[in-house]
Structure 1
């Protein structure tokens, strides 16, 4: 069994994958803040998964961890993760030393890309499938799997398309640029464009747009156009077979998928080139509740991914 842990800003999830590829029950618990608490959270998660599996931690063939922020996947060092209060944490080494098990660490979006790739492989039986995982959360980023291999890039920033400027006079971005894709197609973008006290701002926006509210229609169109831009960008730069949308905003489900496909279809009607790429049929939304990052983290620990 291989154990995968997804350490998020507020919660941590874990799942184990057996030799047959089947997933165990998922474990969830709160994430601590700061280096020592993050390490303690990971150790508690391993302990709980060990209890459920009825085996000691050393029985896991490997342990993989997905975590937000800048990660050196070769050393397991988290260079920084602002939302977790981390700067220079040797997470892989600390967990490995405590448990005596090989531990690998990867950025959470890249881990989720592997998880989504695994899901597609189960669905269509193609293991060397090329796809991009478009994460729509507080920010926007992508993980890319080409011919079965995770694309990290020379400096680990492959897929950071949220910081590609698309509007030179647009909103300032947290990265220091202006008009980045993330400023129109992300949870933070929706919070700015659609301020509301509703507990689910994106759902509130889409429901009001469906009811014909003009302001909601305008914001929804801008958001969906940004997501469609991201899909087009990923296909044009990597020519992946599929773009799988995940992250918190993927909970919009069919409303999100239909909206993005509608814009891509409209673009195709005015561009024979885009029409030839069949963009609408390349995009899909990950099933609600599928633990992509935890599944991908488990796969990171496997030998097939150590060569990627």
Structure 2
């Protein structure tokens, strides 16, 4: 059965290190209400922020929200127990945090907790109407959500899809994971900001604009960045062989120019390998629509499932 937004109704919260984005989905999958609030760090701050967004969604929807709430968060998530750990960007470190139970008590409704990239992968499935999908999030870091035969693949330790920590350059930069030369040190928002610092506005937008204007330094930085994204796509294609690969995340707000350059890099990678070229990875690649809250919508789908 192919995934679809039609016929679902739910509430989803995407809790990130800087903002929390909440949505209410209608029966046809349309977004009926959405709210953004700054996220307060720490366990207490995360719970309080979620409550604030939930109450604002209820006001925007014109009534109480009694349905189950799906919550997407960064870090290692045990969805069965509703536990969160190592969510450094949220100020949650160390021991398991019983986030599901804390939120359920505060919101007064059942709650389901999922890794944010995994949640976004479910929404990506619905967008492209396929059941074998890799969602590649190019944000502050680099990670993938995997859906195989319509089911999330989380892995034994919740680490499936951590493609950003695949080493590709032994002489590269140290990675926050403790390894050297990981893809995340090349193809992530953090890496891009280091390579192309800008005083105002998103570095990715500034880089792609400068490259489009013919700046040789910008072109070099852009090409290396897009090579890194293409390398992640190649690795995922060779290991998962999904029907579709969907790009999302904060850097993907650059839009079509990002997809075009990643496609160009994929085709270049395939020039010396008839085998790789035969896989047609470039033809499987698409992007989340601009400004679409894919992680929040995915969290609502988590609740609906």
Please indicate the TM-score interval, normalised by the length of the shorter structure.
Answer: over 0.9
Question: Which digits, 9 at most, give the CA deviation of each residue in 1:23-55, with x for residues without a partner?
Answer: 212111111111111111111111122222233
* Mean CA deviation greater in 2-11 or 82-91: 82-91
- Distance in 2 separating the partners of 1:38 and 1:159: 25
- Where 1:290 maps in the other structure, the secondary structure is coil
**Contact persistence 2:18–2:39 (CA under 8 A):** yes
Match in the other structure for 1:266: 268
Consecutive unaligned residues of structure 1, counting only runs of 5 or more, are: 304-308
Unaligned segments of structure 2, at least 5 residues: 1-8
2:53 matched to which residue of 1? Answer: 45
Q: For 1:129-187, what per-residue CA distance to the aligned partner results, in whole angstroms no more than 9, with x for missing partners?
A: 21111111111000011111111011100000100100111111011100000011001
TM, length-normalised to structure 1: 0.92
- Where 2:86 maps in the other structure, the secondary structure is strand
Deviation at 1:102, TM superposition (A): 1.6
The alignment yields a C-alpha RMSD, in angstroms, of 1.4
What does 1:23-34 align with in structure 2 at a 5 Å threshold?
A: 23-34=31-42
Change (3 A) 1:90 1:204: same
Provide runs of 4+ in structure 1 moved above 4 Å: none
Report the number of matched residues: 295
1:64 aligns with 2:66: no
What SS class does the counterpart of residue 123 from structure 2 fall into? helix
Q: 1:55 to 1:186 in 2, by over 3 A?
A: same
Aligned to 1:14: 22
SS in 1 for 2:41: coil
Q: Which residue of 1 aligns with 2:99?
A: 91
Partner of 1:82: 88
Deviation at 1:213, TM superposition (A): 1.7
Distance of aligned partners of 1:269 and 1:72 in 2 relative to their CA distance in 1, 3 Å threshold: same
**CA offset at residue 252 of structure 1?**
1.1
Structure 1 CA distance for aligned equivalents of residues 54 and 205 of structure 2:
34
Q: Indicate the larger mover: 48-57 or 255-264.
A: 48-57
